Amino acid sequence: MNGSTGRRLGGSGRVRAASAALCLFAGALTATAAGASPAAALTPPVSITADDLTTWQTNGIVWSMAATDGVVYAGGTFSTIRPPEAAAGTSEEPAVNFAAFDAATGAPTGCSLSFTQSSGTATVRALALSPDGGTLYAGGQFGAVNGVGVSNIAAVDTATCTPRQDFKISVSATVRALDVTAETVYLAGDFNSVGGQTRNKFAAVTTGADLLPWRADADEVARAVQVTPDGRHVALGGDFFTVNGTTSHALAVVDATTGALVRSYPGFIPNTSTVQDLTTDATGLYTANEGTGGGVFDGRIAIDLDDYQQRWRDTCLGATQAVLVHSGVLYSGSHAHDCASMGGFADQPRKHLLAQSVDDPTLLPWFPDTNDGIGEPVGPRVMAQTDKGGHHYLWVGGEFTTVNGAGQQGLTRFADGPDTGSPWVPNVSLSTVTPGRIDVNWQTSFDTDDGELTYRIYKDGASTPVHTVTGYSLFWDRPQQTWTDTDVAVGETHSYRITASDGTNTSAKSPPQSATVAASTQGYPARVLSDGASLYWRYDEGTSTFAADTTGGLNNGFLRNAPAYQQTPAAIAGDSTAIGFDGASEYAYSNKRHPQPIRFSVETWIKTTTTRGGKIIGFGNLSMQNSTRFDKHVYMANDGRLVFGVYSGGRRTVTTAGAFNDGNWHHVVATQGTGGMRLYVDGQLRASNLLYSGNENYPGYWRVGGDNLTNWANRPTSNFFAGQIDETAVYPTALSASQVSAHYALRTGE
């Protein structure tokens, strides 16, 4: 166990109901009337803020921590510590692979120990405290503590911060994990001998350093050891495939007195994956898993202690290194990058700190973050917790060199309050498609430790909101909300600003957005909506990071890498502006992840002179990077011809005869249904294939402006489109030729 016995505290509360409620409305919206109860500062069951506190730093990797009574002990591979915000190499104090800190201030306590060896690099890989907190046990690869000879394991008197002379036993190789009861110290690591006797990877000694007959021999490296709360059993984790000769890969449970196997787990964890850490609460055992290669399991598993059966497992990809339970929440350190398989975020840059209910694997709204850092690199390596001064503190150690975007190496900490981080400022867009009203649209915001936020709409500079509503959002799922103002008259111009609040902290007001109330219906957008568009981006925002969905649904678009707003003239009369893409990295993707669209139409307007081509619109399985599965797309070849392609037993394409990179606006519609594939430009059918009515089956996102085009016919030089785009719509049906021509005819606004 890479931490202290304190990691078992506070986990007895079961929060099944709260977690189930979160699952039900994750990604959904909850509306309330003005004056209704605001969001809470933290979304239960999360009780730790995501705001990092000032903490001293190390100049290397923190591998292990233990904590009790307001003191946090850290071990690893480092030689100095330095104050918060100090740059590497400045204001450093010696700390040879070990340091102790005040949990409430983040500053050193003065307890100084030096873990060294005669040759090579010493490291402290494991720390664990005796139940009474009087002795700190350390394991790793070292030959001396403060110059006193030891052999990869040592005991320290915490009252005096001195090595215990009466605790000495030889361990033949690195100790990677420890757990301690009042009488016994359990070891896990690389060793094959302890006290001169054979012990393969796991061993147990008395608190007086006498080797016990307990045997739990494993064939490969041991990385975690955890005594169950009742003291009867010991959970084992690591790389192994057998324990005491019985097949049980990466995880096993043995008797605490004899080491006899109590529960084996053959085939439970893939052979490509290992267990890096274990922790418990009153009812559960929790695993941190790491995999290498294909078919890996990188997530976390919850196991019921009463029968050692699985309670749940998540399937996030990105190895988990550390787990810790506090108040019914399992906090974890990992480098998760793809949780789409369990309803979380799709493959994207790594997230390093996550939270889940002990009863449900759904990701909770708690997203502080680190970087990967040095070493392998993987980011966080270990967690510990303790209380002091009426506050609870969660400490994280590892390889990272930044926390929440600011420089901070090796260590960071979080507390149960105060919550000081404000939600992001909302992105706002106005729509006047329907006469006599203004639709106020906004993209729900993001707060690192609260999913449910309260939004207040301010009209015409007033200090009192005209509307208040709550909505649930996560960083990857920020659905659009809409409020319609009918207290307006034709010809009037009104402005709107919106704030987001977590109940304690409130964002700044969004920049004012203004619109004039229309006297008549706009022909083009009205026809798009009446023909059943399920996504409709008009790109009339002034400045923001989203494209509002005029259908009033949740299909707003995320804009990546700052496409150019307010491009004029727009594609159709009466429209405000278009949007410009640079042909290098800019694109938009839908907030919603969609199942395969069996029948569909995509419609947009384009204006370009590019000779490098690029994808205009398509369907792909990823949002934050180029997709690995991609079809249902329209792209431009280098010569300006347009290509519509789907994957149906192979890559099937139709291509226009003429080029459309002449610098004029062109209306592009691609449809697929029972009648096959059809590609229309400027209201006319330009290419078709009636044979193929199917496409590739995978969930994905609608993307505009760029995505992968590898191996497609007439592949252009660029995956990304350089030019202007306007009035993008997606339909769940194949538009007819008459509908397409009617849309094109409305370009004059009549």
Q: Where are the domains of the chain?
A: 522-748
pLDDT tens, residue by residue, 342-366: 999 999 999 999 999 999 999 999 9
173 by Cβ neighbours in 10 Å (0-12 / 13-18 / 19+) ranks as: middle
Count CB neighbours of 597 within 10 A.
19
Backbone angles phi, psi at 438, to 5 degrees: -125, 125
Two tokens at 475?
């960083």
* Nearest-10 Cα torsion for 111, 116, 120, 124: -50
DSSP 746: G
Of 301, 245, 242, 226, residue with least CA distance to 269 = 301
Helices (H) and strands (E) in the chain, counts: 3, 61
Under 8 Å CB-to-CB from 300, ≥6 apart: which residues? 286, 287, 288, 289, 313, 314, 316, 320, 323, 330, 332, 356, 361
Q: What is the pLDDT of residue 41?
A: 79
Two tokens at 64?
């292990």
Q: pTM for this structure?
A: 0.91
Q: What is the pLDDT of residue 554?
A: 76
Under 8 Å CB-to-CB from 248, ≥6 apart: which residues? 240, 241, 242, 261, 264, 265, 266
Contact status, residue 445 vs residue 453, Cβ threshold 8 Å: yes
| CATH code of the domain made up of 522-748 | 2.60.120.200
**191-223: burial string, b at 16+ Cβ within 10 Å, e else:** beebbeeebbbbbbbebebebbebbbbbebbbb
Under 8 Å CB-to-CB from 669, ≥6 apart: which residues? 601, 602, 603, 679, 680, 681, 735, 740, 743
Q: What is the pLDDT of residue 498?
A: 98
Residue type for position 43? T
Q: What is the pLDDT of residue 736?
A: 98
d(CA 660, CA 639): 9
d(CA 710, CA 699): 19
DSSP 395: E
d(CA 231, CA 233): 6
Q: What is the pLDDT of residue 543?
A: 74
Under 8 Å CB-to-CB from 183, ≥6 apart: which residues? 206, 207
Q: What is the pLDDT of residue 344?
A: 95
Two tokens at 433?
């498609």
Question: Could you say which residues of the chain have pLDDT below 50?
Answer: 1-38
d(CA 96, CA 93): 10
Residue type for position 234? V
Q: Report in angstroms the alpha-carbon separations of 679 from 96, 187, 212, 608, 648.
A: 68, 67, 77, 18, 17
Under 8 Å CB-to-CB from 450, ≥6 apart: which residues? 39, 40, 41, 42, 43, 46, 365, 419, 423, 502, 503
Rg over alpha carbons for the chain, rounded to the nearest Å, is 30
Separation of first and last alpha carbons in the chain = 72
Per the listing, tokens 């166990």 go with 1
d(CA 9, CA 19): 20
Under 8 Å CB-to-CB from 365, ≥6 apart: which residues? 43, 46, 447, 448, 449, 450, 451, 452, 474
d(CA 182, CA 160): 20
Contact status, residue 499 vs residue 509, Cβ threshold 8 Å: yes
